[in-house]
A and B are shown apart, each in its own frame.
Chain A
Amino acid sequence: MSQLLLNLCSVDQVRGAALYTEGWQCVEHRLPPPYEPGYIRTVAQELVSAFEFYTFLESSPAATAMARASDGLVAMMSTKGFHAFLIAEPDVNLTFIKVAFSALEHRLTQAGSIGDLDQAAIPLVVGQGEMAPLETLRGIVEAYTEFAGPAARLLIKAEIRHLGFHADTFPLSRIDALIGRAASRLLTPEDRAAFEKDAARWMPKPYVNA
Chain B
Amino acid sequence: MPNYKSTISISRQVVVRAPTRVERLRRYYPQASLLVHATDQGEVLDAGGSGDREGLAAVAAVTSKAFTRAVDKLCLGRLEGWALEGGDHQCLSAVRDDDLDVAFMPVNRDNVDDLSDFIDQADDLEGETES
Name the residue of chain B whose CB is nearest to the CB of A40: B74
Q: Report whether B82 and A98 are in contact in the complex, using a CB–CB cutoff of 8 Å.
A: no
Within 8 A of A (CB), among B108-126: 111-113, 115-116, 119
Q: Report whether A46 and B86 are in contact in the complex, using a CB–CB cutoff of 8 Å.
A: no
Residues of chain B whose beta carbon lies under 8 Å from any beta carbon of chain A: 52, 55-56, 58-59, 62-63, 65-67, 69-71, 73-89, 91, 104, 111-113, 115-116, 119
Residues of chain A whose beta carbon lies under 8 Å from any beta carbon of chain B: 35, 39, 43, 46-47, 49-51, 53-54, 56-74, 87, 90, 93-95, 98-99, 102
Known contacts A43-B70, A93-B113; is A74 also within 8 Å of B76 by CB?
yes
Known contacts A43-B70, A54-B59; is A67 also within 8 Å of B87 by CB?
no
Supply 9 A–B pairs (Cβ within 8 Å), ascending by A.
A43-B74, A50-B66, A62-B84, A63-B86, A68-B79, A71-B76, A74-B71, A74-B74, A98-B111
A67–B95 CA distance with the chains assembled, in angstroms: 10
Known contacts A69-B77, A70-B78, A95-B111; is A62 also within 8 Å of B70 by CB?
no
Q: Is the interface of B mostly helix, strand, loop or mixed?
A: mixed
Name the residue of chain A whose CB is nearest to the CB of B93: A67
Q: Nearest 7 pairs between A and B by C-beta?
A: A50-B66, A71-B77, A70-B77, A72-B76, A60-B87, A94-B113, A67-B82
Name the residue of chain B whose CB is nearest to the CB of A89: B76
A68–B78 CA distance with the chains assembled, in angstroms: 9
A166 → chain B closest CB, angstroms: 24
Q: Report whether B86 and A67 are in contact in the complex, using a CB–CB cutoff of 8 Å.
A: no
